[in-house]
Amino acid sequence: MPIDVVVIGGVTLDENVVGGVAWRGVGGGAAYASYVLAALGARVGLVTRVSRDVGEVLLRALASVADMVDMNGLVVGDVEVPVFRNVYSGEERRQEAVRGSYVLGPKDLPPGYLSARLFLVTPVLGEVSPVLLESLLQRGASVAVDIQGFVRELRPDGSVAMASSLRIPLAGLMLLKAGVDELPAVSPRGVSPLLSTGIEFVAVTLGRRGSIVYVGREGRAHSFSPPRVRTVDATGAGDVYVAVLAYELARGRDVVEAGRLATAAAAYSTQFRGPSYPISPEDIRRLAEQVGHSELGLDEAQARISAGKPRCT
């Protein structure tokens, strides 16, 4: 089947502790993004590596959208996947992790995927090589990057910290997404220097305060505030957000409509645990009507980002 979106990144084993209640299952941006995009009608090619036991759990999670997810980029074998423990207290999240045993490179991309409309690069902990990203940009591909897995570092005690800097190619990206706590590693002087590299869109997530999407060619920004929902587990919300935002922008939606849909999809996902849940395009369109939007100048947008509080994204 022709591929709309290639999703590249690690699938994880997660233990999420919310309100003292623990939940275990598969996670990672690749799992959350592949499911939501397929459920909303995109034809997805998944590029990752998993152990046999994790592969079985992943296939069960994607079972309801199996006809929309191509698995030619999935390698199942003797590998160790990244392991995460997420403990939530209000908006704060403490993470502990164990690094996976593999790194995805250009040779992991099946030839049939190279004509896709969009490539979403969504690592969790250094398992995607910057060389893969550079190879896509050199081909002139439309590429969106969630930088979380490029800026995470492991402390000696296994807890996850932010790196002091980011070393990946940025020029030519269609979209770069960063959490407010990750932005200093990407650009200590704010978003404006990123726009000068030629990135089309920069999205900064602010947790429950929503997100701000910068449009490079306009020199303007758009603020989106999420609708009220009953949150069960916020893990993966940022993965869902960047997946839907990138896909809608790549298929020609204007930034306001794309931002509303992405914000609605992210909020909707927090009502469930794990990467798979009942969802339809109609669900997201209805919820998108409740998403707040305002247009901002660059200075006002930077002020809102500076006031943001770090949280999981």
pLDDT in tens, 103-149: 999 999 999 999 999 999 999 999 999 999 999 999 999 999 999 99
Beta-carbon contacts of residue 291 (< 8 Å; ≥ 6 apart)? 224, 225, 226, 227, 259, 260, 263, 264, 267
> Domain for residue 93, yes or no?
yes
Say if 313 falls within a structural domain.
no
Given a cut of 80, whether residue 302 has pLDDT beyond it is yes
Kindly provide the b/e burial profile for residues 90-100, where b requires at least 16 CB atoms within 10 angstroms of the residue's own CB.
eeebebbbbbb
pLDDT of residue 147: 96
Write down the pLDDT at residue 308. Answer: 66
In the chain, the number of structural domains is: 1
Question: For residue 312, is it within any domain?
Answer: no
Residue labelled with tokens 């690592």: 123
pLDDT of residue 312: 33
pLDDT (tens digit per residue) in 68-104: 999 999 999 999 999 999 888 877 788 889 999 999 9
What's the average model confidence in pLDDT over 153-157? 91
Domain around 229: 5-306
**311 is a domain residue:** no
The CATH number covering residue 274 comes to: 3.40.1190.20
* Residue 139 counted as domain residue: yes
